[in-house]
C-alpha cells in the first residue's frame, strides 16, 4: 500500500509538472503564432475618469469647509516605484501552484509515514526525514506565494 501511495504521488507530481509546462508552452506558442505580444501581457492604458455635474457643487462645499489641519493641506507624496525584487515576485505566477503541489505531496507523505508506523515491518530510516524536509519546502513555497500575491497587489496599475 505504501509503495502505491509513494509511486502514485511521484507519478502525480511528474505528470502535473509536465502538463503545466506543456500548457504554458502551448499558450506562448499560440500567442507567437497569432502575432500577440511576446511576453503575453498587453499594456492597458487607463481611461480618463468622466466628471459629471457633481463638479460644480464641489467648489461651493469646499469654500464653506475649513481645513482641519495644515498637514492635510500639504501635497501628498507620489507613490514610490516598487523595488526590483517586488517586481520579480509579482511576475512569478508559478509559486502558488508549486506551493499547493508541495502541500499535497507533504500531506500524502504524512499519510504514508502514519501507515508505515503501524506496520509490523521496520520502515525506512530516512523516509520520515524526507517528508519533514518536503514539509519545510512546502511551507517556504507557501510563504513565497503569499509574498508574490502581495507584490502583485503592490505593482498593480
pLDDT in tens, 131-140: 899 999 999 9
**pLDDT above 90 covers what percent of the chain?**
10
Query: In 35-117, which residue ranges form alpha helices assigned H by DSSP?
Result: 54-64, 70-73, 84-91, 95-117
As a whole number, mean pLDDT of residues 79-94 equals 83
Separation CA 16–CA 14 (nearest Å): 5
User: Picking from 32-36, 67-71, 78-82, 142-146, which range would have the lowest pLDDT averaged per residue?
Assistant: 67-71
Q: How far apart are CA 16 and CA 10, in angstroms?
A: 10
Q: How confident is the model at residue 143 (pLDDT cuts 50, 70, 90)?
A: very high
pLDDT at 87 over 60: yes
As a whole number, mean pLDDT of residues 76-95 equals 83
C-alpha cell at 143: 510563504
pLDDT > 90? residue 50: no
pLDDT for the residue numbered 62: 53
pTM here is 0.53
Domain boundaries, the chain: 84-157
C-alpha cell at 73: 493641506
Angle between helices 127-154 and 95-117 (to 10 degrees): 160
- Of the ranges 16-25, 80-89, 96-105, 129-138, the best mean pLDDT one: 129-138
Q: What is the pLDDT of residue 108?
A: 86
> Higher-confidence residue: 105 or 63?
105
**Which pLDDT belongs to residue 39?**
54
Q: Is the pLDDT of residue 70 over 70?
A: no
Amino acid at each position: 500500500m505504501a509503495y502505491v501511495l509513494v509511486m502514485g504521488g511521484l507519478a502525480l507530481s511528474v505528470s502535473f509538472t509536465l502538463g503545466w509546462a506543456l500548457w504554458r508552452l502551448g499558450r506562448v506558442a499560440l500567442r507567437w503564432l497569432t502575432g500577440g505580444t511576446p511576453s503575453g501581457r498587453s499594456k492597458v492604458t487607463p481611461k480618463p475618469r468622466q466628471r459629471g455635474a457633481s463638479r460644480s457643487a464641489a467648489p461651493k462645499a469646499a469654500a464653506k469647509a475649513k481645513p482641519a489641519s495644515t498637514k492635510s493641506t500639504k501635497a501628498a507624496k507620489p507613490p514610490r516605484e516598487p523595488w526590483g525584487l517586488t517586481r520579480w515576485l509579482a511576475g512569478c505566477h508559478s509559486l502558488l501552484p508549486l506551493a499547493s503541489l508541495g502541500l499535497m505531496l507533504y500531506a500524502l507523505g504524512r499519510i504514508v509515514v502514519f501507515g508505515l508506523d503501524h506496520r509490523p515491518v521496520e520502515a525506512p530510516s530516512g523516509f520520515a526525514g524526507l517528508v519533514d524536509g518536503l514539509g519545510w519546502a512546502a511551507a517556504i513555497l507557501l510563504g513565497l506565494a503569499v509574498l508574490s500575491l502581495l507584490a502583485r497587489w503592490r505593482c498593480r496599475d
